Structure 1
Amino acid sequence: MRKPPKPHVIAETQSDGSVKLTPMWAWVRAHPGSSRCDLDDPNTNTHKIRDDFHRQGWDVADLDNQVRITPPESAERVAEVLGVTGHDETTVEDEDIEGAWFAFERELQAFVAGNLAAIDVGGKRLKLYSDERGGGIEYPTGVGDIDILACDESDGALVVFELKRATSPDRAVGQIARCMGWVRVHLANGRPVRGVIVARRTSEYLRYATVAVPDVSVYEYSVKFALTPARAPDAE
Structure 2
Amino acid sequence: MSRYAQLTSVLLSNPAAQVILTFDELDRIVPGGLPASAKQYPAWWANNASSQPHAKYWLDAGRRATPNFKAGRAVFTLDESIETGELAAAVVDESTPQVLTEYVESSLSLERDLEDQIVSHLDVLEPGLTLVSRQETSDVGRLDLLARDADGRMVIIELKAGEAKDSSIGQIARYIGWYAQKEGQPPRAILVASGFSEPVRWAAKAIPGLKLVTYRVQFVFEAATV
Q: State TM-score, norm by structure 2.
A: 0.50
Aligned to 2:213: 219
- Rounded to whole Å, the distance in 1 between the matches of 2:122 and 2:140 is 24
Q: Which of structures 1 and 2 has the bigger CA Rg?
A: 1
* Residues 139-170 of structure 1: CA deviation (Å, up to 9, x unaligned): 12121110111111x21011101111101111
- Rounded to whole Å, the distance in 1 between the matches of 2:154 and 2:86 is 29
Aligned to 1:198: 192
Alignment of 1:79-228 (within 5 A): 86-90=86-90, 104-117=110-123, 119-121=124-126, 124-129=127-132, 136-152=133-149, 154-187=150-183, 189-190=184-185, 193-228=187-222
Alignment of 1:6-25 (within 5 A): none
Amino acid at match of 1:157: R
- Rounded to whole Å, the distance in 1 between the matches of 2:220 and 2:134 is 28
- Rounded to whole Å, the distance in 2 between the matches of 1:212 and 1:126 is 24
- Rounded to whole Å, the distance in 2 between the matches of 1:84 and 1:165 is 12
- Rounded to whole Å, the distance in 2 between the matches of 1:215 and 1:177 is 11
C-alpha RMSD of matched pairs (Å) = 3.1
Please tell me whether the aligned partners of residues 169 and 205 of structure 1 are also in contact (alpha carbons under 8 angstroms).
Answer: no
* Residues 71-104 of structure 1: CA deviation (Å, up to 9, x unaligned): xxxxxxxx97xx975533457xxxxxxxxx9853
User: What secondary structure is seen at the aligned counterpart in 2 of 1:165?
Assistant: coil
Deviation at 1:225, TM superposition (A): 2.4
Amino acid at match of 1:116: L
Q: Could you list the runs of 5+ residues in structure 2 that have no partner in the other structure?
A: 1-78, 92-106
Report percent identity of matched pairs.
31
- Rounded to whole Å, the distance in 1 between the matches of 2:143 and 2:110 is 16
Please tell me whether the aligned partners of residues 151 and 158 of structure 1 are also in contact (alpha carbons under 8 angstroms).
Answer: yes
Amino acid at match of 2:125: D
User: What secondary structure is seen at the aligned counterpart in 2 of 1:145?
Assistant: strand
* Residues 41-86 of structure 1: CA deviation (Å, up to 9, x unaligned): xxxxxxxxxxxxxxxxxxxxxxxxxxxxxxxxxxxxxx97xx9755
Q: Which runs of 4+ in 1 moved over 6 A?
A: none
Amino acid at match of 1:114: S
- Rounded to whole Å, the distance in 1 between the matches of 2:194 and 2:118 is 13
Please tell me whether the aligned partners of residues 143 and 156 of structure 2 are also in contact (alpha carbons under 8 angstroms).
Answer: yes
Deviation at 1:120, TM superposition (A): 3.2
Q: Could you list the runs of 5+ residues in structure 1 that have no partner in the other structure?
A: 1-78, 92-100, 130-135
